[in-house]
Amino acid sequence: MQMIVYAVRTPDTWRCYLSLDMRVDLQWWYGDGEGRKGFSGRPPRIVILASSIPLGWAASIRDTFRPLQEMDQWDAGEWQCYVDKQIASCVSEEPERNQARWRAVTQDVHVLDERAVLSGWTPSGREEWAGLMRQAEQLICAIEGRALLAGEVEALLAEAAGVTGGWRSAAQLGVLLGRLRMEAGLAEPAPRVPPGRLRRGRAMAPRCRRCGSEARSRTACAACGSAACAYCEACLAMGRSRACTLLLHGAAGPAVRGTAGGSPTAALGRWGLSAAQSAAAGAALRFLAEPPAGGSAGPARFLIWAVTGAGKTEMIFPLLQAVLDAGGRVLVAAPRRDVVLELAPRLSKAFPDEQVITLYGGSPERWKRGSITLATTHQLLRFREAFDLVVIDEIDAFPYHNDPMLAYAARNACKKEGKYIYLSATPPAPLQREAARGQLPHAKVPARFHGHPLPVPRKLKIFPVHRCLQQRRLPVPLVRSLRASLSRGAQVFLFVSRIRHIAPFLELLQQAMPDMPMEGTSSVDPARADKVMAFRHREIRLLVTTTILERGVTVPKSDVYIVDANSDLFDEAALIQMAGRAGRSKDDPAGRVVFAAPQWTRSQSQAVRQIKQMNRIAGKGGYLRIELT
């Protein structure tokens, strides 16, 4: 996209603007727009710095613009020298054969002459300007709290407001009003060295304004004419973010604070929470009611560290209600589409008077606005300071865990003075350390809703899976233990470390127990959903699977077996999550968990230690219905 960039002398200082429609800017500064307010006598002086350069270059001039007192005396030549310096690094990125052409294109600095402007320009009438103002208000409301590429703006307006085309003039007026901001999709990072010193080492790559990732890919671009237009590969699936792509976002209002007084009794009475759930919800409510800390650290954070099966979803209901009662907007982000679809009816039932919007890839509601937004983490890339409360569920799960892009998107989706709630049964190690040091306020929920302790995994020493497959036989202790689980009527999750082991291991199990209905599934199985449903309905009694089912699947009466539990692919968090499939029902709270492996590992020891520790905390807190032995 080609862009106009200009400097204007306001009563107090020089300012720099980008323009999508210079007619709007002229009306603003010379006509009946609000730009003339504060001026006495002569209208502002405007200097066109460039009238047709790539958006990324224009944004770089604006973002690095620093007013100087001597600018009042500069002539066109001095302004030209200033512009040449500002875009020198941009021109140098072009192939050498194109650099002379770009230098010629940018030699168009000129100071607007007031009489020439007024004689060659017909100002808009009051009625026409009022109509543009109404369009700008409509656009501002539609984009509030969002960060959208130009194509997405058009799609939003076409669906939500029935507007097709002609929005750029309204967007320019929104920018002048200070309620919209234009950015390039990519931007050069600020230098990390003091002014005047040379940067050494590799050149700093531009970063994507939408996802925060480095963008090292460049290609010829028909839109801006550059032969080396950078683009971001990290968020390519959400639409191409280029150095010349317009990214438009709307300013959001100040964040609200939760209104609830943090009473665990009130949380328990209204939402039917257990004592452990209410204690955690009460601590989180007090956190929401605290004033913002201020500074540049970003939204304040709180961790709810709840064991698997503790009822994390129900715990956030009083938190959502507190912010909604204060007139705020809330976001609940989950790692996967199936989790979003499962949570949507529960939230709608809990909050029947609120509009719950669900967002995922291909969602029909992607441009709708609601007081409660339920979204996969990738969808957060389209928001900017939109929510007063952001709840991130399963922060340790793929794809959110270890993905800086999604963490960046989630942080930007929250208002600067908003609040953040993390939910996890197995928080990542850095968060655990922050909590232990007192740097991260948190609450632990060490007991499940039914008040029984977590099943502690048992050791079962067997030879590894690959040896079972080589010898074409299963270890007798494993078969004996599986038969005991099936005989007591349990459904059996049998986890293996690799997809390629599922089919041959299932074949050995079928030979050992030919009368028992069993199946295998994984992330690459197109029939996975049907098999899981059959497993829930007891049409399948034993399911061989991978960590794809380590969370999000609850079967009332189930036992868990993890073979090759010593595998490097099974860390402490994965083992705890898989073990968490057992004992979730109040009718079968003591389900079995078996770590079957040739040797005991640190991950297995840590998983058992954490499970026992949570049981001890629950016992000391009086959250268990039975005494621990």
Is residue 489 domain-resident? yes
Single residue among 150, 165, 184 that ends a domain in this structure:
184
- Cβ proximity of 287 and 302 under 8 Å: yes
pLDDT band at 54 (very low <50, low <70, confident <90, very high): confident
Residue by residue, what is the 3-state secondary structure of 300-361?
EEEEEEECCCCCHHHHHHHHHHHHHHCCCCEEEEECCHHHHHHHHHHHHHHCCCCCEEEECC
Asked if residue 408 and residue 340 are part of one domain, the reply reads yes
Asked if residue 156 and residue 18 are part of one domain, the reply reads yes
- Cβ proximity of 385 and 415 under 8 Å: yes
Convert the pLDDT of each residue in 566-618 to its tens digit.
999 999 999 999 999 999 988 899 899 999 999 999 999 999 999 999 999 99
Asked if residue 571 and residue 612 are part of one domain, the reply reads yes
Is 394's pLDDT higher than 70? Answer: yes
Q: What is the pLDDT of residue 45?
A: 86
pLDDT band at 102 (very low <50, low <70, confident <90, very high): confident
Q: What is the C-alpha separation between 217 and 214, in angstroms, rounded? A: 9
Asked if residue 495 and residue 370 are part of one domain, the reply reads no
pLDDT > 70: what percent of the chain?
90
- Cβ proximity of 351 and 313 under 8 Å: no
Among 342, 379, 345, smallest CA distance to 360 is for 379
What average pLDDT does the chain have?
87
Asked if residue 279 and residue 157 are part of one domain, the reply reads no
What would you measure as the largest C-alpha separation in the chain, in angstroms? Answer: 97
Q: Which of 110-124, 255-269, 564-578 is the most confident on average?
A: 564-578
C-alpha distances (whole Å) from 455 to each of 325, 538, 573, 619 are 39, 22, 16, 14
pLDDT > 90: what percent of the chain?
53
Q: What is the pLDDT of residue 200?
A: 46
Is residue 29 domain-resident? yes
Asked if residue 161 and residue 45 are part of one domain, the reply reads yes
Is residue 180 domain-resident? yes
Under DSSP, is residue 218 helix (H, G, I), strand (E, B) or coil?
Answer: strand
C-alpha distances (whole Å) from 164 to each of 158, 205, 366, 382 are 5, 35, 18, 20
Asked if residue 516 and residue 440 are part of one domain, the reply reads no
Q: What is the pLDDT of residue 194?
A: 43
Q: What is the pLDDT of residue 92?
A: 84
Q: What is the pLDDT of residue 7?
A: 94
Is residue 479 domain-resident? yes
Is residue 227 domain-resident? no
Is 203's pLDDT higher than 60? Answer: no
Asked if residue 163 and residue 139 are part of one domain, the reply reads yes
Is 294's pLDDT higher than 80? Answer: no
Is residue 540 domain-resident? yes
Q: What is the pLDDT of residue 629?
A: 53
Query: Could you tell me which residue, 37 or 134, shows the higher pLDDT?
Result: 134
Tokens (6 digits) for 472: 């074409």
* Element spanning 256, H or E: none
Is 354's pLDDT higher than 90? Answer: yes
Residue 227, exposed/middle/buried by CB under 10 A (0-12, 13-18, 19+)?
middle
Question: By residue range, what is the domain housing residue 133?
Answer: 2-184
Asked if residue 518 and residue 440 are part of one domain, the reply reads no
Neighbouring C-beta atoms of residue 363, cutoff 10 Å: 17
Asked if residue 179 and residue 301 are part of one domain, the reply reads no
C-alpha distances (whole Å) from 135 to each of 44, 141, 156, 163, 198 are 26, 10, 14, 10, 47
